[in-house]
Chain A
Amino acid sequence: MSFTPLHQHDDDAEREPTDREAFTPGIEPQATWCPGCGDFGVLKALKGAMGDLGYTPEEVLLVTGIGCSGKLSSYFESYGFHSIHGRSLPVARAAKLANPGLEVVAAGGDGDGYGIGGNHFVHTARENHDMTYIVFNNEIFGLTKGQTSPTSPMGHKSKTQPHGSAKAPIRPLSLSLVGGASYVARTAAVNPNQAQEIIKEAIQHDGFAHVDFLTQCPTWNKDAKQYVPYIDVQQSDDYEFDYHDRREASEMMHDVEDALHEGEVLTGRFYHDPDRPSYQEEKRAHGDVPEDSLAERYHDDDYEWERSYDLMDAHK
C-alpha cells in the first residue's frame, strides 16, 4: 500500500481561485434556516472566501457548535465537525495542533461562543491559535426560540426576561482583543462584499482571527439593528485609527460597541497584528510541538517512530 499524504494547505503558495460551488454539499441537506435568516450570509461569505483563496474542500475542517449557527457545517462541504454547545473551539484547536496543514475554521452563535463557551473563547484568543472563529451574532438564542443572549441589549424583553434584561450586553470585540486575539473584525450579513473580504483576511491571518458576524434573526429578533445599514469604518474618513495599534484599536472598539446599542452599526477590521507569532509557532520555538504534522506521521506507514530515551531507566 502506498502512502498518500493528507492534503495540506500551504498558506504561502500562489493559488488559483477554485469554484466556490465545490463547497456546496453533494446531497441536499434539509434546509432548517428560516427564510431571510442572516446565517445564509455567513455561508455565502465563507464559500466565496474559500473559493477566492483557492482552497479545496478536503483541506478544510469546519467545527461548529450548537444553535441555528451550528448548522453551518451541514450546508458547507468540507470535513465537518458539528460538536456541542459552546465547545467548538477546543475541538478545533486540537485538530489544528494535530494537523497544522488543515485550514481550521470554528463557528457558532453568540450564546454558543460568548455565553456557554466564553471560557474557551478567552483562552483560545489568549493562546492565539492559528484559526478563524466566526460568531453569528444575532443578539438572541435562535434555536431554542428567542431567549435573551449575552449580546442582547439592556432592557431586551424575551420569554425568559419578561421585564427586560438588566444585564449590559457583552462586548465581544473588546473581549477578544483583551483576551489576546491577533485579528478582530466585525462584519454583517447585510453586507456580503465586505463580509467575504473580511473572512478571507481572517483565514489568511496566522493567528486567532475573530470575526463577529452580525446576522439577522427575522423570527425572534425583529427589531435588531442587524438590518440597519452598516458603516465600513475603513472606507469612511470619519473613523481614523490605526488598526495595527492595540490601544487605538481598543478605543475604537469601545466606540463601536457603544454605537451598536445606539443604533449605528460600524463594521470592518478593528485590530490586526500580523507580527505576533501564533500559538503553534510559539510552541514550536519552545520545542514543544513537532515541525511536521503529527497526524501525517500516523498516516504514513513508513514513518520511523523514535523513542528519544529509555523511559524505564528512571525506575530501575
Chain B
Amino acid sequence: MTGEIVWRIAGGSGDGIDSTSQNFAKALMRSGLHVFTHRHYPSRIRGGHTYVEVRADDQPVRARGDGFNFLLALGDSFARNTKEHAYYGNEQAKPLAENLDDLRDGGVVVYDEGLLDASEIEDFEARAEEHNWHVYPMDLRGMARDQGREVMRNTAGVGVTCALLDYPLEPIEKLMEDRMSGDVLEANLEILEYAAEQANQLDHTHDLRMPQGEHDSEQALVSGSNGIAYGAIDEGCRFVAGYPMTPWTEVFTLLSQHLPDMGGIAEQVEDEIAAAALALGASHAGVKALSGSSGGGFALMSEPLGLAEMTETPLVLVEATRAGPSTGMPTKTEQGDLEHVLYTSQGDSCRVVFAPGNQREAYEQTRQAFELAYDFHLPAVVVYDQKLSGELRNVDADFFDREPNPDLGATLTEEELAEAAHYATGTFERFQHDPQGAPEGVSPRSIPGQADGRYLASGNEHHPTGHISEDPDNRVAQMDRRMRKLAAIRERLDERESNQVRHGAADATVGVMTYGSNQGTVHEAVDRLVEDGHSVASLSVSDLMPFPEADVGEFLDSVETCLVVEMNASGQFRGLVQRELGTHGDILHSLLKYNGEPFEPHEIVEAVEGLGSGDPATAATRYVPAGSD
C-alpha cells in the first residue's frame, strides 16, 4: 500500500463533522492530493455517533479503504450528562470507543480530552499497546474556548492533525478565508495555529506523513448526487418536482437552489405521486423535467412511471436507494431496489435504467437518461445509492460541460406537422403504428400550443390518434412499437463507448462482476489481486435496461468463474444477469453485503481468493455458490 492517509473524524451528528471533513478534503485536493470521502451517520439530526473518513493519496483514490490510520475523536457535544453541568458530558466515550475496531496498526489517535475520557474504555490502553497506536490526548474544547468559541473545537482538531501529519496550514487557512470573514475568521485562524503549535510541542512517536502530490488540472470535489444534479442541469433540465426523502434530498435541494436562478422551476409538493406527475405534466408541455425519490417514495411514483410509458411522455426519475424493505435504514446504503426500479408499475416495463458507478458516470449517465427519454419518449431512471450519493471525490473541473442542451428530441415543428403525411386524415397521428423518420419505434410528438398537433395522450391503450381503443390488432401494434424502442436504444448504446467498464488482467480466468456504486471498490480489489499474481478482471455494469447482453456475455465467456458483488440479500443483480442471458448460471457465485455498510476492498480480495471454498469473506458478507441456469 502507498503512503496514504485515511483520516477519520468522529463525533456527534450535528457537531459539524460533515462540514469539517469536507473542508479538510477540499484543502487536501487543492494542495494536489487525490481524495475520497466515506460518510457514516445515524438516522437522527443531533447527537448519535457519526464519522467521516477522508482518504488521501498522491494516486487517484476510487473507494473507501480498508480501515483507517488517523482518528480524530472529537466527542459528542450532544451527549447528555446526568450530572449538573448538563450540556457537555464526558461519560459518552463513543466517538473514541466505537471507532477503534478498524484503526490500523501503527495508527494515530487524537482525542478531545475536554469531552472524552479514555480511562472509561476498559481495554483502551491494552489495545493501543497491542496495535502500536500512537495516542495524543488534547484538550481541544479548552483550546477552542480559550481562543474563540467552544464550537470551534473542530478547527483545533484540524490544526492538531496538520501538525502531526506534517501538513502545512496554508491550504486550510485559504479555505477558511474563502468561506468566513470578520471575527469568526479571526478566531478560527487563531485556534488553528494555536492548536498546531501545541501539537508541535509534543513528542511525535508516529511516522505517518501526509503524502504530497500535484494535479495536472483544476479539480472539483463532487458527490454522486452532485453528478446527477449537474448532469441534469447541463442536459437542459429546468423543472424539478420532489418531496424530501434521504438520500434523494441531496439532488432535490441542489436543483431547488439552482434552477430558479437559471430561469427554471422547482416545486416541493404534497407527495411523490404528485412529484412525478408534475414532472410528467411539465415534460408533456415541452420542458425538460426531473423528479425522483428514494425507495418508499419511488414506490409511490410507480403510477406516473407507468403513465409515462403508456403516454410515451419523456420523464427522468432518480432513485437514490437505501436499505429496505419499507423505511428500512434511512441513512444506510443498499442495492435492494434493483427489481423495484426495473419492474415496478403494471404491464411490461418499457424504460431505461442506468446505475452509474461513480461521480463521473452519475453525470454522464444522467445526461444519457435525458437524451434517451426525450429521443425515445419513455421514462429513464437513474438508480444509485446512499453510498454514492454522499461520497465526495475529486474530478477534473473541466469534465462538466456547462452548456445547457435544450434539444427536446423527437418533436415536430408546426411546419412539419402541417406537412406530415398522416395529417391528411385531418388528425395528427401522435402514435403511428409504423413511424418513419425518427429513431426506431418512435412516433414524433407535438407540444401543446402548436397548431395542427392536437392529440390525446391517454394512459389507456389508444389508436394512432390517441383515442382509447381495445382493438386487439391495434394493441399488438402499439405494444410492439413501444417495445421496439428498447432494442433501438440498445443499438444506439452499443455503438458508443460502453457504459460497462472492464478492468484488470487482459486474459483473466476469474471474473468479478458488479453494478453501480461498488465499481471503485472492485477496481481497487482487482488491482491488488492482479498485483499478487491472480488472473482477475472485473466488469462493472451500468446499463440495467435495456440490458447490455453483448458486453456481459462476452465478459462471462472470457472467464472460467465469476463472483457477482452486490449490496443486497437476495442477489438481485445476479438474478438479472441470469434472466437476461439465460446462461452462465453455473459459473456465477455471489458475494452479498447488506448490513448497511459498503464493501471494503479486502472483502472482495478475500472472497476471490477463497472462491469455491464457500466461506464468506468477512462476518459482514455472505457467499452464495453458483447454481445453474
Contact = CB atoms under 8 A, between A and B. Distances in A.
B402 A307 contact: yes
A194 interface: no
Contacts of A312: 220, 230, 397, 400, 402
Lowest 5 CB-CB distances: which A-B pairs, in order? A6-B449, A94-B281, A90-B277, A91-B281, A94-B278
A145 interface: no
A101 interface: yes
A92 interface: yes
Interface stretch (A55-63, A168-176, A209-217): A55-63
Given A59-B449, A97-B267, A305-B406, A102 B460 contact: no
Nearest to B406: A298
Interface string A181-203: 00000000000000000000000
B281 A98 contact: yes
A129 B380 CA distance: 28
Interface in B337-361: none
Given A77-B454, A299-B286, 16 more contacts: A1-B415, A2-B415, A6-B447, A7-B450, A29-B467, A61-B448, A74-B458, A81-B281, A81-B456, A90-B275, A91-B284, A99-B285, A120-B274, A123-B270, A294-B287, A298-B406
B222 interface: yes
Interface string B486-511: 00000000000000000000000000
Contacts of A120: 270, 273-274
Nearest to A92: B281
**Which among A4, A81, A94 has the greatest number of chain B C-beta atoms within 10 A?**
A94
A162 interface: no
A94 B267 contact: yes
A144 B563 CA distance: 51
Contacts of A94: 239, 241, 267, 277-282, 285, 289
A80 B457 contact: yes
**Which among B288, B307, B400, B454 has the greatest number of chain A C-beta atoms within 10 A?**
B454
Interface of B: 30, 218-222, 226, 230, 233, 236, 238-239, 241, 258, 260-267, 269-271, 273-275, 277-282, 284-289, 303-304, 307, 311, 397, 400, 402, 404, 406, 408, 413-415, 425-427, 447-460, 465-468
B273 A295 contact: no
Interface of A: 1-2, 4, 6-8, 25-27, 29-30, 57-59, 61, 63, 66, 71, 73-74, 77-84, 87, 89-95, 97-99, 101-102, 119-120, 122-123, 283, 287-290, 294-295, 297-299, 303, 305-312, 315-316
Given A74-B468, A311-B230, A288 B273 contact: no
B263 A306 contact: yes
A134 B454 CA distance: 21
A95 B284 contact: yes
Contacts of A311: 230, 233, 258, 400, 402
Contacts, number: 218
Contacts of A57: 454
A290 B278 CA distance: 17
B457 A81 contact: yes
Contact of A294 (B233, B265, B452): B265
**Which among B271, B287, B311, B451 has the greatest number of chain A C-beta atoms within 10 A?**
B287
A98 B287 CA distance: 7
Contact of A30 (B222, B260, B270, B468): B468
Nearest to A309: B261
28 contacts: A4-B415, A6-B449, A7-B451, A26-B427, A27-B467, A58-B450, A58-B454, A59-B449, A74-B467, A80-B455, A81-B281, A87-B277, A90-B274, A93-B278, A94-B239, A94-B277, A94-B282, A94-B289, A95-B284, A99-B448, A294-B263, A294-B282, A295-B285, A295-B449, A306-B262, A307-B262, A311-B233, A312-B220
A83 B449 contact: no
A52 B85 CA distance: 76
Contacts of B285: 61, 94-95, 98-99, 102, 295
B459 A83 contact: yes
A7 B264 CA distance: 21
A27 B463 CA distance: 12
B327 to A, nearest CB: 20
A283 B30 CA distance: 39
B544 to A, nearest CB: 25
Contact of A315 (B222, B241, B258, B406): B222
**Which among A30, A82, A283, A289 has the greatest number of chain B C-beta atoms within 10 A?**
A82
A30 B461 CA distance: 14
Contacts of B449: 6-8, 58-59, 79, 99, 101-102, 295
A316 B408 CA distance: 31
Contacts of A102: 285, 448-449
A294 B238 contact: yes
B448 A97 contact: no
A295 B430 CA distance: 19
A289 B454 contact: no
A73 B426 CA distance: 18
B470 to A, nearest CB: 9
B286 A98 contact: yes
Contacts of B265: 97-98, 283, 288-290, 294
Contacts of A1: 413, 415
Contacts of B267: 94, 97
Nearest to B470: A30
A8 B449 CA distance: 7
Contacts of B427: 25-27
A294 B260 CA distance: 11
Contacts of A8: 449
Contacts of B236: 298, 305
B270 to A, nearest CB: 4
A198 B468 CA distance: 29
Contacts of A26: 426-427
A315 to B, nearest CB: 4
B282 A90 contact: no
Contacts of B426: 26
Contacts of A80: 454-458, 466
Given A4-B413, A94-B279, A119 B271 contact: yes
Nearest to A310: B402
A316 B448 contact: no
A61 B400 CA distance: 37
B352 to A, nearest CB: 21
Contacts of B273: 87, 90, 120
Contacts of A83: 277, 307, 459
A80 B258 CA distance: 32
Contacts of B402: 307, 310-312
